[in-house]
């Protein structure tokens, strides 16, 4: 006997159905959190039976954590520095920071559900929050911190704790995105394009960490 719910939606290949369930689940988790979302909710919104959800995911925890793997592949979280590889090699400091900022701001705009989901995961102390921290945040701090350390050794950046510099840089980006996503959705306080925001944040940061010698050289040019 064909399930009446499933008969109303087109059949999908296994990979397509899995992707659909992940996107639906992420939307629901981002609105209601882990505890406030059931596999039945996911099935109903996807237009399939709950058995179909369990065919792809053993339980709600597996569905929740699979979202991180899905996003890592689709958004380049595995290597957030790939798009600025040339700038890193050339030690183009403005290109590095503005490129990272722009990519992050664009991703946040394109996928606000994922940002909300991560906030819910942190508030609920769910394993997904720790997984994201371990697989992405720590690596991001380490990689960018190492770049800053190298530029300090070059004499381009003044002495400062590289992790503090990374925290300041990330703080500007995340706070800006959270304002647009949670509080100031109408951009009443600050209306600015992602390109302009990335440029301004990078300029502010670099003016604070460039060494006097590097500033003099840049002003001379």
Task: Summarize pLDDT for 185-216 with one digit per residue, the tens.
Answer: 888 888 999 999 999 999 999 999 988 777 76
53 and 99 together in one domain: no
Q: Which domain holds residue 196?
A: 76-220
Q: What is the pLDDT of residues 34-70, one digit of tens each?
A: 888 888 898 988 898 889 988 888 888 888 778 777 7
The CATH number of residue 56's host domain is: 1.10.10.60
52 and 89 together in one domain: no
Q: Measured between alpha carbons, how far is 14 from 210 in angstroms, rounded to an integer?
A: 52
Model confidence band, residue 184 (pLDDT cutoffs 50, 70, 90): confident
54 and 84 together in one domain: no
Are the beta carbons of 63 and 42 closer than 8 angstroms? yes
Last residue of a domain, one of 49, 68, 87: 68
Q: Which residues of 183-212 are buried (b: 16+ CB within 10 A; e: fewer)?
A: eeeeeeeeeeebeebbbebbeebbeebbbe
150 and 204 together in one domain: yes
Model confidence band, residue 5 (pLDDT cutoffs 50, 70, 90): very low
The CATH number of residue 112's host domain is: 1.10.357.10
Q: What is the pLDDT of residue 18?
A: 85
Q: Two tokens at 186?
A: 């109408």
User: Residue 85's Cα: distance from chain center in Å?
Assistant: 19
15 and 84 together in one domain: no
Model confidence band, residue 3 (pLDDT cutoffs 50, 70, 90): very low
Last residue of a domain, one of 22, 52, 68: 68
pTM greater than 0.85: no
Q: What is the pLDDT of residue 14?
A: 64
How many other C-beta atoms lie within 10 A of the C-beta of residue 22? 22
Are the beta carbons of 142 and 196 closer than 8 angstroms? no
114 and 209 together in one domain: yes
- pLDDT beyond 70 at 99: yes
Number of compact structural domains in the chain: 2
Phi, psi dihedrals of residue 210, rounded to the nearest 5°: -65, 140
Distances (CA, A) of 43 to 33, 63, 66, 131, 168: 16, 12, 16, 25, 41
Are the beta carbons of 63 and 57 closer than 8 angstroms? yes
63 and 87 together in one domain: no
DSSP letter string, 66-121: HHHHHHHHHTTTT-TTGGGHHHHHHT-HHHHHHHHHHHHHHHHHHTHHHHHHHHHH
Query: Of residues 34 and 88, which shows the higher confidence score?
Result: 88
48 and 121 together in one domain: no
21 forms beta bridges with none
């Amino acid at each position: 006997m064909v399930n009446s719910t499933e008969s109303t939606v087109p059949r999908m290949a296994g990979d397509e159905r899995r992707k659909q369930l992940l996107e639906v689940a992420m939307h629901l988790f981002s609105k209601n959190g882990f505890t406030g979302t059931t596999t039945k909710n996911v099935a109903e919104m996807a237009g399939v039976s709950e058995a179909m959800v369990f065919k792809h995911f053993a339980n709600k925890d597996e569905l929740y954590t699979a979202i991180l793997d899905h996003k890592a592949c689709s958004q380049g979280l595995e290597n957030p520095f790939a798009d600025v590889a040339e700038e890193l090699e050339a030690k183009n400091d403005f290109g590095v920071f503005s490129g990272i900022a722009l990519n992050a701001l664009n991703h946040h705009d394109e996928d606000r559900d994922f940002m909300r989901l991560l906030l819910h995961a942190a508030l609920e102390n769910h394993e997904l929050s720790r997984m994201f921290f371990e697989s992405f945040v720590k690596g991001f701090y380490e990689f960018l911190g190492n770049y800053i350390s190298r530029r300090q050794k070059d004499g381009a950046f003044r002495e400062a704790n590289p992790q503090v510099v990374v925290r300041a840089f990330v703080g500007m980006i995340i706070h800006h995105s959270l304002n647009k996503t949670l509080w100031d959705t109408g951009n009443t306080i600050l209306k600015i394009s992602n390109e302009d925001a990335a440029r301004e944040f990078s300029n502010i940061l670099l003016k604070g960490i460039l060494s006097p010698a590097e500033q003099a050289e840049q002003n001379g040019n």
